[in-house]
Amino acid sequence: MEKLVELSEKEVRIDFVLNSKCRANVRLRSLTTTAPIAFKVQTSSPDKFMVSPPTGLIPPLSYATFQVILKPQTLFPTTYPRSPANRFLIKTAQFFHNSLDSTRPAASNINSWFSSIPDGSTEDHKLKVVYMGPSLLRHAVSCGNYVAAKNLIKRQKSIMAELSPRESESLLRVATELANPESMVNLLFEAGLKIEARVQLDNVNYEVDCSKWTSRGWEELHMAAALDRMEEVSEFVKKNGAGSNSFDCRDNMGRTPLHVAAGKGNIRCASVLVELGADKDARSSDGRTALHRAAVNGDRRMDEMLIEMGADPTIRNDRGFTPLDVARDKGHKKVAELMERGEEVVIAARSGDVEQLEWLITQRGASIKYRDEFGFTALHFAAVEGHKDVAMKLIECGSDFESRDSEDHAPLHLAVVGGSLETVEVLVSEGADVNAKTKSRATPLYMATVLGYDDIAEFLIASGASSSP
């Protein structure tokens, strides 16, 4: 059966609060171009949940949203974040107008219609329930339930950022009052709990000593990256200088501060670390890069930023997976699409398809800074293939004509290799460095001379290329 709808979420994520109605929205997208799609939502726990609306119609290639409402609960869930006992079933099918009964309400009509169609003729989707939110996190911490607290934080990356300073201090207070507080406090700090350097607990000054709570070999910069503390990064730069190798210090698992920032979703800190000289392709002990960590989390903004800043999406971890493989495996469609679009831009540039290239950039928001395993950008491919129109379009869209591959070839070097004088002229007219050198110190003029491209060599000399090495 052809797929009828796509769900915005695979889970119903409820931000749980005691004694309050809690709501979550689920969006359905029709994938059909002809008939509308009818849907019907059923819950395994009608005593707890309401659905509004429980039935409806989705126009072709359009959307419909229903709301899941958790009735006020007087007790915390017995298990969370995952709630195995609570599930939803969404039944969908192509809807035929001639089966309507004009004398009945719309909801009743659709209910009746679903009852009339044969068994097995619907496309069914199951939704699991996940309970989340600061209220549950505090409950997990107060109970000393490390596993539940860890899973909540893993499910809801933004949970720490949503806490007010007072809530953060209160959460730390609860954690330190446990019989064995170290692992719980360590978990909270590593997840990004932000508090003042000193807080008052039971009339005793309790100093937050980050090193006390980290047994992973983290250094000062790892902690700053985990907590997104830009002031501490600035202090580090003052002491060590920008571009310092210390930006790539390693913990016990081979992770750099950039790995930590990417894993925590701290995009501001991650971008600053890269700008200051951190190795954007550094690999931890398991072969993962910062891109891998962001892909695991489904963090599209982080992956997009890292790719824009030149991170290599083709690096494989020790299991042979690229960040794209990881995103696909985890079901993070938006992250996978981001990387796939980058690959599509490279393919369009290599084949000289200007129309496809323009559509990818303007209509699908594809990145022009995607690189292959050799560091080639789309502009490198356009240059070596001699596609001057593609090169012009890429430059017009902001492509860096001085970007370098793994051997320090600029696009101009590759335009010379491709033997296309017109492409060379385009790049030089845009300001490309005619004396750029590769790792082996080859200039575009040297390469043109060795390859016997006299017309290109003459043009480069006339454009200011130096004949000296």
Both tokens assigned to 260: 């930590």
Domain 337-462 has CATH 1.25.40.20: yes
Question: The tokens 């809801």 sit on which residue?
Answer: 156
Largest CA distance in the chain: 90
Count CB atoms within 10 A of the CB of residue 140.
Answer: 23
Mean pLDDT, the chain, as a whole number?
A: 85
Give the closest residue to 187 by CA, choosing from 198, 175, 200: 175
Residue 40: the pLDDT is 95
Cα of 312 vs its chain's centroid, Å: 14
Query: DSSP assignment, residue 72?
Result: P
- Whether residue 270 contacts residue 258, with contact meaning beta carbons closer than 8 Å, is answered with yes
Ordered by start, the domain boundaries in the chain are: 5-131, 135-213, 220-331, 337-462
The residues near 292 (Cβ < 8 Å, ≥ 6 apart) are 315, 317, 321, 323, 326
Query: DSSP assignment, residue 449?
Result: H
Residue 213: the pLDDT is 45
Which residues face 207 on adjacent strands?
198
Q: How far apart are the first and last CA of the chain?
A: 65
Residue 215: the pLDDT is 54
CATH class, range 220-331: mainly alpha
pLDDT tens column, 203-222: 334 444 454 445 567 787 88
The residues near 462 (Cβ < 8 Å, ≥ 6 apart) are none
Residue 81: the pLDDT is 93
Peptide bond connecting 105 to the previous residue in cis, omega within 30 degrees of 0? no
The residues near 317 (Cβ < 8 Å, ≥ 6 apart) are 283, 286, 287, 288, 289, 292, 326
H helix or E strand, kind and range, residue 311: none
Q: What is the CA radius of gyration of the chain?
A: 28
2.60.40.10, 3.40.50.300, 3.30.70.600, 3.40.50.2020: which CATH number matches 5-131?
Answer: 2.60.40.10
Q: What is the mean pLDDT for each group of 10 consecutive residues in the chain (469 residues)?
A: 84 93 93 90 94 92 93 94 92 74 55 84 93 94 94 87 82 86 83 59 45 62 80 78 74 91 88 89 93 90 85 85 87 82 84 87 75 82 92 87 87 93 93 91 92 93 82
Which residues face 82 on adjacent strands?
130
User: Would the CATH topology of 220-331 be identical to that of 337-462?
Assistant: yes
